[in-house]
Amino acid sequence: MNKCVERLYNGLIKENPTFVLTLGMCPTLAVTTSAINGIGMGLSSTVVLVMSNLMISLLRKVIPDGVRMPAFIVIVASFVTMVQFLMQGYLPDLYESLGIYIPLIVVNCIILGRAEAYASKNSVLPSVFDGLGMGLGFTAAITILGAVRELLGAGTILSTGSSALVDFSKMGYTPASIFILAPGAFFVLAMCIAVMNRIKKKHGMAPAQVPDYTQDGPCASCSNTMCSGKAAASTADKKQN
């Protein structure tokens, strides 16, 4: 169980896919115009992450190496289609708001990255918690981005059409609309990453770094979850040179 808790902490804090590893930037920058959009996209991605990690871990000894990535994409696409139909049926407004970015979850590098780097090499329970940790970390990050952009750019928090949980525009606040536009996404993301780095530095946490790919031996025996087979390729190149 300690390993499962470690996977949750890894996804939420240590290797947060948005604020630390800066993965999945396309939906992060595109859909975070509001906190509701961030929650919807984040939870959708979390469901797909957990279910695809579960299935890939169960089939890891059956899927041939030669068709590994196509098989992963088919599995992920199946779960994305299920999520898409459920959202279209039960949450049509959110589905319309997120638009094309729901089917594009299929090629989200967070999902394919965790499938290749972790789920395909580890047992079911840790893989499920790895997907859950990464998904919740992604959800928390883009919800924060969406809330900040919505607050600064529209003066509201958790706005749903005609109503909002908090509406500062009624209190005399003049929104800065640039934060709802594309440049605002970069500004707020940079600010959040800077705050995250500041917090990690204050608590003595080393920043996540992609390690040198110098390990010899089979990938299955490697504990480096950020490698995705690059260690073997790097070692082979060095031997050839």
Section 31-58 average pLDDT: 93
CB atoms within 10 A of CB 220: 9
**122: DSSP letter:** S
Which pTM value belongs to this model? Answer: 0.80
pLDDT band of 72, cuts 50, 70, 90: very high
**Which range (97-106, 144-153, 224-233) has the least confidence?**
224-233
pLDDT attached to residue 162 = 67
Q: Which helix (H) or strand (E) holds 66?
A: none
At 68, which amino acid appears? R
Looking at the predicted structure, is the pLDDT value of residue 208 above 70? no
pLDDT band of 221, cuts 50, 70, 90: very low
pLDDT attached to residue 211 = 45
**CA 184 – CA 57 distance, rounded (Å):** 39
Looking at the predicted structure, is the pLDDT value of residue 168 above 70? yes
Polymer length of the chain: 241
**33: DSSP letter:** T
Looking at the predicted structure, is the pLDDT value of residue 230 above 70? no
* Alpha-carbon dihedral 109, 184, 142, 149, rounded to 10 degrees: -170
Residue bearing tokens 């005399």: 172
pLDDT attached to residue 213 = 43
Contacts of 147 by beta carbon, 8 Å cutoff, 6+ apart: 35, 38, 157, 158
Query: What does the angle CA 240 – CA 226 – CA 109 come to, to the nearest 5 degrees?
Result: 110
Looking at the predicted structure, is the pLDDT value of residue 94 above 80? yes
Composition of the chain by helix, strand, coil, percent to 5:
70, 5, 25
CB atoms within 10 A of CB 121: 19
Query: How does DSSP assign 132-201, residue by residue?
Result: HHHHHHHHHHHHHHHHHHHHHHHSEEEEETTEEEEEGGGGT----GGGTSHHHHHHHHHHHHHHHHHHHH
pLDDT tens track for 121-152: 999 999 999 999 999 999 999 999 999 998 88
CB atoms within 10 A of CB 113: 18
Mean pLDDT of the chain: 83
Section 8-20 average pLDDT: 90
**Which range (33-37, 116-120, 152-156) has the least confidence?**
152-156
